[in-house]
Copies of this chain bind each other. A is one copy, B any other.
Amino acid sequence: MTITLAVDCMGGDHGPAVTVPAVLEFLRHDHACAAILVGRESALTPLLRHTEEALAGRWSIQHASEVVDMHDPVATALRVKKDSSLRVMADLVKEGRADGAVSAGNTGALMAVSRFVLKTLPGIDRPAIATALPTLRGHSYVLDLGANVDCEPEHLLQFGIMGAMLAAALEHKERPTVGLLNIGEEDIKGNETVKRAAELLKESGLNFIGNVEGDGIYMGAADVIVCDGFVGNVALKTSEGLARMISTFLREEFARNPLTRLAGLAALPVLKAFKTRVDPRRYNGASLLGLKGVVVKSHGSADGFAFRHALQQAAEAARQKLPEKIAARMASVPIAPTLCD
């Protein structure tokens, strides 16, 4: 079965110059996929002119006259720019013409438009954003990363279920372990919300391993780490800042004098191997979970390599029918009816 992705080619810092070649490269590698490139026809056509015959029939252009800017308020994306590449992309999934969607655009607008067009799955109050992070043992999925700043225990339970389904789909793990981010491993730690969430997760039938502290994320303490969007966003951004500081310091130390520069030259292959191992581009692609459709958000600054990774992730989630699996799992868990909005 061919998986067709709708790709918002206008989003991100670089727009079509990066997204279009990335889509073609993706199609060259994944022969079971097709792509609908969404955006201004005049911007996309020139970049597709010399595409090889072998890809013919596996890509098409869907014109969209508008673009949601990085700084557009959510209301503009929802109510004003109704022919934006973001909106047209979501519509393609809604209409069943695409199996999944990928965009490097404005996160808030992507979430709002996706939620408005696709709707949430039964039993899911709020969609969440999840990404993979490298760990000592491989990688883990962390959610939520900023979609939900105030969470009830039931939301954290839903994140746990969605995260476990995501890890199962993308990692082919049957019973991924789920941990709850907290400020101590003991049951008595944390605020009332996480304490109650821990109880719900224990009763959920998930492979729940209990509380995980911040360092557990990178130690690989669990396949899935659940937290509210405020905490998850801070953890992710703090990590980005620390990684940037460490790499700046390393560069500075190696650039200090001719001798250290020589040492840097000797160490270059090793430093490169290290860099590859933690390359954030390999982790590009955050899944918007809980929607009736597969939607993946690429980092705005993604280059072609990184954007392709987001495309691969969307294709795999669609192939595994992730939304259907989440819905099925939700149906088996009793959820307080008062929470449904």
Residues of chain A touching chain B, judged by Cβ–Cβ distance below 8 Å, are: 134-136, 146, 149-150, 181, 183, 190-192, 213-219, 227, 229-231, 233-246, 248-250, 253-254, 256, 260, 262-264, 266-267, 269-271, 273-274, 277-278
Contact = CB atoms under 8 A, between A and B. Distances in A.
A270 B277 contact: no
Nearest to A150: B191
Nearest to A148: B191
User: Counting chain B CB atoms within 10 Å of each CB, which of A136, A238, A271 scores highest?
Assistant: A238
A270 B263 contact: yes
Contact of A216 (B190, B215, B219, B241): B241
Contacts of A237: 183, 213-216
Given A191-B150, A241-B217, A242-B242, A253 B277 contact: yes
B227 A234 contact: yes
Ranked 5 nearest A-B pairs via Cβ: A214-B237, A215-B241, A214-B238, A218-B241, A267-B267
A264 B271 CA distance: 10
Contacts of A244: 136, 215, 218-219
29 contacts: A135-B245, A136-B248, A181-B234, A191-B230, A213-B233, A213-B237, A214-B236, A215-B238, A215-B244, A216-B241, A218-B238, A218-B244, A218-B245, A219-B241, A219-B245, A234-B234, A235-B235, A238-B238, A242-B243, A243-B246, A246-B278, A249-B277, A253-B273, A253-B277, A254-B267, A254-B270, A262-B266, A263-B269, A266-B266
Given A234-B234, A253-B270, A214 B243 contact: no
Interface of A is mostly: helix
B236 A190 contact: no
B269 A260 contact: yes
Nearest to A260: B270
A249 to B, nearest CB: 6
A235 B238 contact: yes
A218 B234 CA distance: 12
Contacts of A181: 234
A252 to B, nearest CB: 9
Contacts of A242: 217-218, 239, 242-243
A264 B260 contact: no
Contacts of A149: 183, 190-191
A269 B266 CA distance: 13
A216 B241 CA distance: 7
Contacts of A231: 230-231, 234
A53 B231 CA distance: 53
Given A238-B239, A264-B267, 14 more contacts: A181-B234, A183-B230, A191-B230, A213-B237, A214-B235, A214-B241, A216-B237, A216-B241, A219-B245, A234-B235, A249-B274, A254-B267, A260-B269, A263-B269
A271 B192 CA distance: 44
A245 B216 CA distance: 10
Contacts of A216: 237, 241
A216 B245 CA distance: 10
